[in-house]
Chains A and B, each alone.
Chain A
Amino acid sequence: MDESTLNQYNDLTRAKGMITPLALMGIKSIELRAKMVVEGFLRGIHRSPFHGFSVEFSEYRQYIYGDDTRHIDWRLFARSDRLFIKKFEDETNLRCHLLVDHSRSMGYSSAGFSKAKYAATLAATLSYLLFMQGDAVGLATFDEKINHFLPPRNRPGYLHRLMLLLDKDPQGIGTDLGRPLKRIAEIITRRGLLVLISDLLAPIDELESHLAYLRASGQDLIVFQVLDPAEMNFSFETPSLFRDMENNRNFYVDPVEAKSKYQSRLHQHLESIQSTCRNLGIDYRVMATDRPLEFALLDFLISRARLGKRIKQNRRMNIRSRT
């Protein structure tokens, strides 16, 4: 996030009084949580300088004989003397896949709610927003494999079904990013938006290749890495027998002694992910669970705005080249 943007948003939160994650997670219904975040966010955004953003984008193709003339963009024809067909509205709507990590490590919590709950709320918030805009939203949960998959739809009742799936507790064991991503790449054939929500606490050796493959298949990717503050700060004091939530491995750790090395390795891990994403043109955000979800929503929109600019630039370039 740009620093100027964040500052502006901070001003907004101070002015409106943003709801904290702990308070938000106290709401039992995930649907209600998502609604509160989105509506609260949108109310604030109307007064903000960010109005005019839109997630919609259109696609043009050159008129071919036999196409329906009703779909010719006459205004473009007026400007450029070229016949371009404007695609149908539904075809131009966004198809978004939410890929949510349901591995055991997502069950860790130090602040009253788990990462999984935070991630589910985040996914629900995005779904709600996209549904409001008429976009199709699909969902896939995974641990070592794809556990559940809902294809993107935008019809009444689908959001609720999606919410129900999100509200399930993580049942998985370990985290394997490679296999689910590969499987998703196989499933998703049409272009769209893919939002990966995970703690990414797994080896990232194959992550780059799979992300590149998805990227190449025309998917726009946004990666939200959800981390607990305790995971980031390693704020333990008492020497304890630390047990891995995924594979139940345990050993004795003196936090005071291990803290610096832990943070160093974590930082290195995050750097690697960030570097990979940057190379692939993927938006990457680290979401601490004590961070208000509005920030995630903001990041999402900023990312979409940036994506929209890029499409417009591409379209202009295409038109110029054709003219």
Chain B
Amino acid sequence: MNFLYPIFLIGAVAVGVPIILHMIRRHTHKQQLFSSLMFLKESKPRYQKRSKIEHWLLLLLRCLALLLLALAFTRPFFGKPLQTMPGAAINRKVILIDTSASMRREGLWPQVLSRVNSVLHDVEIDDRLCVMTFDRQPRTLIDFESWRRLEPTQRANIISDQVNDITPTWNPTYLDQAFIAAIRMIEEDEIDNQDLSIESQQIILISDLQQGARLDLLHTFQWPQEIHLVTEKITAESTTNASLTLLAEQNIYSSPEEKTQRRVRITNSPDAVRERFVLNWNSPPELETNSMEVYVPPGQSVVVNIPPAPASLQQLQITGDDHPFDNQHFASAPVRHQLNIIYLGDENIEDPDNMSFYLQKAMPPTRLLDPQVRILPPTESLENVDLNTVGFVIVAEELAPENMDILKRYLQSGKTILVVMKTPELANTICALTGQKQLAAEEVMPDNYAMLSELDLNHPVLKPFDDPRYGDFTQIHFWKYRRLNLEDLPDAHVMARFDNGAPAWLTMSAGAGRLVVLTSGWHPTDSQLARSTKFVPLLYSILEFAGAVRNRQFQYFVGERFQLPPWIKDESSKLLVHRPDNSNTTLDLNQESYFQPDMPGFYTIEAAQNKLLYAVNISAQESQITPMTVEELETFGVSLQPQHSPLPDLTQQARREKANRQALESQQKLWRWILLATTLALLLETVLAGWLSKTPTEAQGVTK
């Protein structure tokens, strides 16, 4: 039995009063009527102390009445747990467990398990709970309805077991997405269960709250004020953490012969206690590499040059800090790409009046690209040319009919041809390549010059110029151009027009491939384009648009999805993936067209003929393990609960417990029965006392 107000049990002390009154009687108050007092004299009052109790039953009844009265005031109730308490206030909680790479640090994950158990312990039977994990993406471990369906006594164990099975991933921390997902869960549950009386809604974040956690989305998110964030911060004992990042090649256009050193940025945590670290390539023993000592003061970063790795697979590592989870960096050696370009025009490449002259100058060989420009007269047959190895074709003069079919097949393979209309006759070539019946073209020589206007900077070719700094093409003057009748080209997309409205640059589809048409050449006779700063970027942009030059991504990160090259699907749809942990998986391109690595290291994706090598690292931000303060979250509008300390928790728990006890007591209302019993005891006492007081009257006379 429990009591709502146990303080009233003190009232049970009053049970001593009748006992004392029974044991000690000061003097009699009994009156005896007598016919005459003429023969009597007054006696001295005699105090009586009775050492034995005369009326046990009477005493017991009086004591019982007092005890029952005190008991009724304590409002007793039986403390059986309420399975359903209609109208009782409940809490809605979402536990967010951080499983990002920073949680792999030593000693953190056991703390997470302990905190989860602690939070589960505080969850009431009627509370609604949802458990989510998050790193790059939020994942629901158990939702509100699943929690409700679980056996109440087994809930904590089941959740605890499920959390025990989780291990931290290598993914970065997207805290903003996790918050938003948790709030969505709460709001959806609120909509589904509108009849519940909710006392509070909480998101309990169990995380190391590292500085590297992303909160960008919270800038544009309105945090609901009725949902409070409770942080269970996990802290590591040691604080020194050095991270390294292999920076991009400083000059990818440098000559292939130039031996460039790799640049590595090393960052030390602000609260580090050490600043000396050792940097070296993790290479096979047979390859000698030198270690490099690096001094990085706490909170600073240092960029050092390190000789290139001896092997193609480059694994850079740093030692000397407390947390090894981010001490390795994987990189693949840059591969030089050969680009074969065929220029169909009868030109002297050495003549600066020709377009080929500027083309050659614009595409020098570099460390990553090896352009091979081949000048072919348009009358020469392309039968002997292996067009499969040709990345890009430029047509500057009207083609011979036999070459027309070859280039059509080239286009059918999805390739792109650049047509530069040095003469209006090239319109016939365009008609032939695109299958148009006719295309009218005429030579136009403006009075002064023509300028470009109405540039579609959203077009992929002009996208690099979509910036006020780079988008000014007015400095380029065009002396002459070829006017095309756009009515003959219904599918053409005009990227740029001249200031008189005539199309300047166009793209159009030709079979499976595409044509890029420039109605004016870049050689000085036609325009100033070749001598402008826009020429080389435009040329490379067209090459990229054609797929001839690929901007190979330099770094890949865990959790990122990246598209595989389209050609690999032509080889095979099912690819074998060798993972860094030496396990193999199969990637079915019919189901997924992307690849998403889940751990750092080297991935090898094998197709039928070729293989792709990817070096995957953990996100650099994940290395920023310095904990952020909770107040920083407030700047994003997060509604924080008072810091999770034992005192408010106890207060809240006490309040909940009190509410539960009051509800139990009001359901049972035992005090009514106790009051009834008290009344019965008092009635019995009255009857018994009356009988006892009447008995001596008959023996001794009239008693008042």
Task: Decide if B35 touches A240 in the complex (CB within 8 Å).
Answer: no
Q: Decide: B33 and A245 in contact? CB cutoff 8 A.
A: yes
B83 CB-CB contact with A under 8 Å: no
The reply to whether the CB of B39 lies closer than 8 angstroms to some CB of chain A is: yes
- Which residues between 28 and 70 of chain B lie within 8 Å of chain A, taking CB atoms? 28-46
A239 within 8 A of B: yes
Residues A286-322 near B (CB distance < 8 A): none
**Residue numbers in A under 8 Å from B14 (CB-CB):** none
Contact across chains for B43 and A253 when beta carbons are under 8 A apart:
yes
Q: Which residues of B contact A39 (CB under 8 A)?
A: none
Q: Could you say which of A105, A241, A246, A265 contacts B39, with CB atoms under 8 Å apart? A: A265
What residues of B have a CB within 8 angstroms of the CB of A107 in the complex? 35
Binary per-residue interface labels of chain A (177-212) against chain B in the complex, 1 for a CB within 8 Å, 0 otherwise: 000000000000000000000010111000000000
Chain A 91-114 near chain B by CB (<8 Å), digits 1 or 0 = 000000000000001111110000
If the complex has contacts A108-B35, A241-B31, A242-B32, are A252 and B700 also in contact, measured as CB distance less than 8 A?
no
Residues of B within 8 A of A269 (CB): 39
User: A254 touching B46 by the CB < 8 A rule?
Assistant: yes
Note all chain B residues with C-beta closer than 8 A to A105: 35-36
User: Per a CB cutoff under 8 Å, which of A110, A203, A257 touches B701?
Assistant: A110
Q: With an 8 A cutoff between CB atoms, is B278 at the interface?
A: no
Selecting from A3-11, A139-147, A216-224, A230-238, the interface stretch reads: A230-238
Chain A nearest CB: distance from B36 CB in Å?
4
Given contacts A105-B35, A245-B34, contact A236 B41 (CB under 8 A): no
Whether A239 contacts B43 by the Cβ 8 Å rule is: yes
| Smallest Cβ-Cβ distance to A105: which chain B residue | B35
For residue A251, which residues in chain B have a CB less than 8 angstroms away from its CB?
A: 37, 40, 42-43
Instruction: Say yes or no for A70: interface residue by CB 8 A criterion.
Output: no
A109-B702, A253-B42, A258-B41 known; A240 vs B32 contact (CB < 8 Å): yes
Q: How far is it, in angstroms, between the C-alpha of A88 and the C-alpha of B602 when the chains are bound?
A: 165
What residues of A have a CB within 8 angstroms of the CB of B696 in the complex?
Answer: 238
Given A110-B701, A230-B701, A244-B37, A236 and B43 contact (CB-CB distance below 8 Å): no
Measured CB to CB, the closest approach of chain A to B200, in angstroms, equals 69
A254: chain B residues within 8 A (beta carbon): 43-44, 46
Say if the beta carbon of A249 comes within 8 Å of chain B. yes
- Closest CB-CB distance, A258 to chain B, in whole Å? 6
User: Is A173's CB within 8 Å of the partner chain B?
Assistant: no
- B37 close to A242 (CB less than 8 A): yes
Beyond A108-B35, A258-B41, is A241–B30 a contact (Cβ under 8 Å)? yes
CB-contact partner of A108 in B33, B40, B41, under 8 A: B33
* Bound Cα distance A202, B38 (Å): 8
How distant is the Cα of A246 from the Cα of B27 in the complex, in angstroms?
25
In the assembled complex, the Cα of A108 lies from the Cα of B701 at a distance in Å of 9
Q: What's the least CB distance linking B445 to chain A, in Å?
A: 147
Pick the contact of B40: A106, A238, A258 (CB < 8 A). Answer: A258
User: Once bound together, how far apart are the Cα atoms of A98 and B46, in whole Å?
Assistant: 45
Residue A243 is within 8 A (CB to CB) of chain B in the complex = yes
How does the 8 Å CB contact mask read for A246-281 relative to B, with 1 for contact and 0 for none? 100111111001100110011001000000000000
B34 pairs with A243, CB closer than 8 A: yes
Instruction: Determine whether the beta carbon of A242 is less than 8 Å from that of B701.
Output: no
Chain B CB within 8 A of A117 CB: no
Contact A243–B35 (Cβ < 8 Å): no
Q: Does A86 belong to the interface (CB within 8 Å)?
A: no
- For B701, the closest partner residue in chain A by CB is A110
- Is B29 a contact partner of A201 (Cβ separation < 8 A)? no
- How far in angstroms is the closest Cβ of chain B from A204? 11
Of residues A228, A235, A241, which shows the largest number of chain B Cβ atoms within 10 Å of its Cβ?
A241
- Of A228, A236, A237, the residue contacting B35 (CB under 8 A) is A228
Instruction: Tell me if B's interface is mostly helix, strand, loop or mixed.
Output: loop
- Chain B residues with CB below 8 A from A230, complex form: 701
Q: In the complex, A253→B696 CA distance in Å?
A: 17
Residues of chain A contacted by B41 (CB below 8 angstroms): 253, 258, 261
For the complex, what is the distance from the CA of A201 to the CA of B44, rounded to whole Å? 25
- A201 and B38: CB pair below 8 A? yes
- Given A110-B701, A252-B45, A253-B40: A238 in contact with B28 (beta carbons within 8 A): yes
Among B28, B36, B44, B46, which residue has its beta carbon within 8 angstroms of that of A245? B36
**Smallest CB–CB gap between A72 and chain B, Å?**
55
Report the nearest B residue to A110, measured CB to CB.
Answer: B701
**Distance A231 CA – B535 CA, assembled complex (angstroms):** 147
Complex Cα gap A257–B36 (Å): 18
Contact B31 A246 (CB under 8 A): no
Q: How far is the CA of A243 from the CA of B31 in the complex (A)?
A: 7
**Docked pose: A246 CA to B34 CA in angstroms:** 9
Query: Given A108, A237, A238, which contacts B34 in the complex, CB threshold below 8 Å?
Result: A108
Tell me whether B43 and A258 are in contact (CB under 8 A): yes
Contact A241 B28 (CB under 8 A): yes
- In Å, the complex CA distance between A202 and B39 comes to 10
Residue contact A236 to B29, C-beta cutoff 8 Å:
no
Q: How far is the CA of A249 from the CA of B42 in the complex (A)?
A: 11
Contact B43 A231, beta carbon cutoff 8 Å:
no
Contact A115 B35 (CB under 8 A): yes
Interface contact B43-A257, CB-CB below 8 Å:
yes
| Most A-side CB within 10 Å, residue of B28, B34, B35 | B35
CB distance from A256 to the nearest CB of B (A): 9
Asked whether, in the complex, the Cβ of B35 is within 8 Å of the Cβ of A250, the reply is: no
Decide: A236 near B32, CB < 8 A? Known: A109-B702, A230-B701, A254-B46. yes
Contacts of A237 in B (CB 8 A): 700
- Please give the distance in Å from A59's CB to the nearest CB on chain B: 42
The contact of A243 among B32, B42, B43, B44, by CB within 8 Å, is: B32
Candidate in B40, B44, B45, B704 with the most chain A CB atoms within 10 angstroms: B40
Q: CA separation between A235 and B32, bound complex, in Å?
A: 12
Asked if A266 and B39 make an inter-chain contact with CB atoms under 8 angstroms apart, the answer reads yes
Taking each of A105, A231, A235, A238, which has the highest tally of chain B beta carbons within 10 Å of its own beta carbon? Answer: A238
Contacts A238-B700, A252-B45 hold; do A243 and B38 have CB atoms under 8 A apart?
A: no
- A-contact bits for B674-704, CB 8 A (1 contact / 0 none): 0000000000000000000000100011101
Give the distance in Å from the alpha carbon of A257 to the alpha carbon of B43 in the complex: 8
- Report chain A residues within 8 Å CB of B43: 239, 251-254, 257-258
| Complex Cα gap A249–B39 (Å) | 13
**Could you tell me the distance between the alpha carbons of A317 and B702 in the complex, rounded to whole angstroms?**
56
Taking CB as reference atom, which chain B residue is nearest A249?
B37
Q: In the bound complex, what is the Cα–Cα distance between A239 and B31 (angstroms)?
A: 9
Q: Which residue of B lies closest to A244 (CB)?
A: B37
> Distance in Å from the Cβ of A131 to the closest Cβ of chain B?
31
The minimal Cβ–Cβ distance linking A318 to chain B, given in whole angstroms, is 45
- Of A199, A203, A245, most buried by chain B (CB within 10 Å of CB) is A245
Separation of A110 and B702 alpha carbons in the complex (Å): 7
CA distance A20 to B34 in the complex (A): 24
Question: Smallest distance from the beta carbon of B8 to chain A beta carbons, Å?
Answer: 39
Q: Once the chains bind, are B31 and A245 in contact (CB under 8 Å)? A: no
Min CB–CB distance B134 → chain A (angstroms): 89
Closest B residue by C-beta to A257: B43
Bound: A241/B43 CA distance, A: 10
Contacts of A238 in B (CB 8 A): 28, 30, 32, 696, 700
In the complex, which residue of chain A has the Cβ closest to the Cβ of B29? A241
**Contact between chains at B36 and A244 (CB < 8 Å):** yes
Which B residues are in CB contact (< 8 Å) with A250?
31, 37
Contacts of A108 in B (CB 8 A): 33-35, 702
Question: Given A231-B35, A243-B33 in contact, is the A236-B42 Cβ separation under 8 Å?
Answer: no
7 A-B contact pairs sorted by A residue (CB < 8 Å):
A105-B35, A199-B36, A201-B38, A203-B38, A251-B40, A252-B28, A265-B39
Q: Which 9 A-B pairs have the closest CB atoms?
A: A108-B35, A240-B32, A251-B42, A105-B35, A254-B43, A265-B39, A201-B36, A244-B37, A110-B701
Enumerate chain A interface residues (CB-CB to B < 8 A).
Answer: 105-110, 115, 199, 201-203, 228, 230-231, 235-246, 249-254, 257-258, 261-262, 265-266, 269
* With A231-B34, A253-B42, A265-B39 already in contact, 19 other A-B pairs whose C-beta atoms are closer than 8 Å: A106-B35, A110-B700, A110-B701, A199-B36, A231-B35, A236-B700, A238-B696, A238-B700, A239-B46, A242-B31, A242-B33, A245-B33, A249-B37, A251-B43, A252-B28, A261-B39, A261-B40, A262-B40, A265-B38
